[in-house]
Structure 1
Amino acid sequence: MGRPSKALLDLDRITSTALELVDEHGDFSIPQIAKRLGVQTASVYHHVEGRAGIIELLRARLTADIDPAGLELRPWDRAMEAWALSYRAAFAAHPRAVPLLMMAQVAAPEALAHYERAVELLLAVGFPEPVVMPLITALDNLVLGSAIDLAAPESMWAPAPDGSTPLLARALDAVPDGRRADAGFAFALEGFLAHARRTLAEAG
């Protein structure tokens, strides 16, 4: 029998298959990946460094959809806003992957490059070094939490059918259809940026 015209395994196929499983089930296993690709489990291990390696491949895949040009904008707060919006959109496309990524140390070079640029930007405009990572952590939490929220039901609250929560019902009705998650993210992002601006002013 001749050699197959296309290799059964490569990092791209492993990553795509893992992402399919995560989108469907919220998790993956290496035996599941192997079964879907029609190969032996050991063959997958020949290409990746176990589960942790695949999680970083997923991180790299999602990170590739973040526009790096956002961090080149000026002033700095416009850059951070653009980065946050693009970051959220990229990860919201696969919200079930977010919990897996949040529980693993960031090691993918593609992701680290974004963080390096963000740190460089914040230091360059005068943020004290001890403040930089808490600031980025806060933005991470905001973006990733909102990415998950985009996959949640539009109405996360079910007003009591007996009418005992009339104010909640009215507040829910006041939000335009499909805008709850976006409006909440915009509110939180502006609050984050306002606090960051005050922190920078106090540092100066």
Structure 2
Amino acid sequence: MGRPRTPLLDRERITTAALELVDAQGEFSVPQIARRLGVQTGSLYHHVDGRDGIVELLRERVAEAIDATTLDLRPWDAAMAAWARSYRAAFAAHPRAIPLLMTNPVRAPRVLEHYERAVTLLLDAGFRTADVMPVIIALENMVLGSALDLAAPEAMWEIADVAATPRLAEALAALGDSRTDRSFDFALEGFLAHARRTLEARGGASG
């Protein structure tokens, strides 16, 4: 019998199966992926470096949707804002992957390249080396929290007795549509304002 024209198993198929499992249940196991692909569990180890290797393939797959060219924009704060929005959209498409990816060290080379570009952007803008990673990590915390918020129910507060919490009810009624977008814009503007003040306090340029 001749070889099949399309390989039964490769890294792309493994990544797709793993991401489908994570999107559905928030987790995956190597045996689950094998069953989904109709192969023996041991066969996967010919293509990936165990579970940790699959996690990094997932990280690369999700990060493919982040537009790294945003980090070429100037001034630096415009670049960070555009990167943050693209980053948020990429992870909002797979919110159940966030806890998995955030609790495993980043090793994927293509993802590390994103960080290298972000670090370079901030250093070129005049940030101190010691301030660069706190800026990036703070931005990520905000972005990923907002990505999870996009997957949350539209009504996150259910008030049974308006008389018990009248001011909360009034504030929620005034919130209107686009809760998550408005909240993200508010947080992003505050983050960038603080980052600008940090840069100016160190004597860096503002653009």
The runs of 4+ residues in structure 1 deviating greater than 4 Å are: none
Equivalents in 2 of 1:145, 1:55: separation in Å? 20
Q: Residues 73 and 79 of structure 1 are in contact (CA less than 8 Å); yes or no, is this contact kept in structure 2?
A: yes
- Tell me the residue number matched to 1:23: 23
Provide the residue aligned with 1:143 in structure 2: 143
1:128 alignment partner AA: R
TM-score (norm 1): 0.97
Matches within 5 A, 1:5-154: 5-154=5-154
Q: Deviations over 1:28-60 (max 9, x none)?
A: 000000000000000011111111111110110
AA at the equivalent of 2:174:
A
- Give CA deviations for 1:48-102 in whole Å, capped at 9, x if unaligned: 1111111110110111111111111110000000000000001100000011000
TM-score, L = length of structure 2 = 0.95
Q: Aligned partners of 1:92, 1:147: CA distance in 2, in Å?
A: 4
**Partner residue of 1:192?**
191
Alignment deviations for residues 4-39 of structure 1 (CA, whole Å, 9 cap, x no partner) = 221111000000000000000010000000000000
Structure 2: give runs of 5+ residues left out of the alignment. none
Tell me the alpha carbon deviations over residues 135-193 of structure 1, each in whole angstroms, 9 at most, x when there is no partner: 1110111111111111011121112336311111111111223x111111111111100
8 Å Cα contact 1:15/1:54 also seen in 2: yes
CA contact (8 A) 2:15 2:58 kept: yes
Structure 1 stretches lacking a partner, 5+ long: none
Taking every aligned residue pair, what percent have the same amino acid on both sides?
A: 66
**Structure 2: distance between partners of 1:76 and 1:156:** 35
In 1, the alpha carbon distance for the partners of 2:17 and 2:68 equals: 26
The total of aligned residue pairs comes to 203
Report the secondary structure of 1:118's partner residue: helix
**Partners of 2:16 and 2:143 in 1: how far apart?**
23
Q: Secondary structure at the match of 1:110?
A: helix
Is contact 1:66–1:87 with CA below 8 Å preserved after alignment? Answer: yes
1:158 corresponding residue in structure 2? 158
Counterpart of 1:182 in structure 2 is 181
